[in-house]
Amino acid sequence: MNHEAYLQAAERHCVARGSKLTTLRRRVLELVLRHQGVVKAYQVLADLQQERGVTAPPTVYRALDFLVEHGLLHRVEALNGFIVCDHFECQHEGLILVCEDCGSVEEIDATAGLSALRMASQSVGFALSPQNLVLAGHCKACHL
């Protein structure tokens, strides 16, 4: 899906949830879409400041939080950044595959595999939170 089609779908998704993709939220999403792979909040802030001048960091953080809350982005804690969710509001736990060479990111459904980890954790009385796991390696293009 191209960026414009994604943005239009994102707007419809927010409206369906009773929210609005404001001009600022849309611009933050556009800036994230411009980057390949994991995007750090400070990158988005720097891009926005380049366009608009002084921009308060909380403004960007609130927009990013909104986009995560509405399933448009995933927060990747292990990499301290964000990735675009291609299929809004994932109802699965995933593996986030990060290429160490080119930085590309791919998300795959790992619910079945993570359920084994969840059961093993439960056997010792530990309750796992829903999460995505990050695995580093080499994508198909870089591995060849």
Q: Is 90 annotated for ligand binding? A: no
What pLDDT sits at residue 92? 64
Residue 11: phi and psi, rounded to 5, are -60, -45
Residue numbers of the chain with a pLDDT score lower than 70: 1, 89-92
128 residue type, one letter: L
The contacts of residue 144 (CB under 8 Å, 6+ apart) are: none
Torsion of CA 68, 94, 128, 67, to 10 degrees: 0
Which fold is adopted by the domain 94-143?
Dna Ligase; domain 1 (3.30.1490)
Beta strands in 1-144 (DSSP E): 73-76, 81-84, 94-99, 105-109, 133-137
Q: Given the structure tokens 């084994």, which residue do they identify? A: 116
The token pair that represents 101 in the structure block = 């060479």
- 42-81 pLDDT, tens digit per residue, is 999 999 999 998 889 999 999 999 999 998 998 888 788 8
Q: Hey, where are the domains in the chain? A: 3-84, 94-143
For the whole prediction, is pTM greater than 0.85? Answer: no
pLDDT score at 126 = 95
CATH for 3-84 (3.40.47.10, 1.10.1740.10, 3.30.720.210, 1.10.10.10) = 1.10.10.10
99 is in an annotated binding site: yes
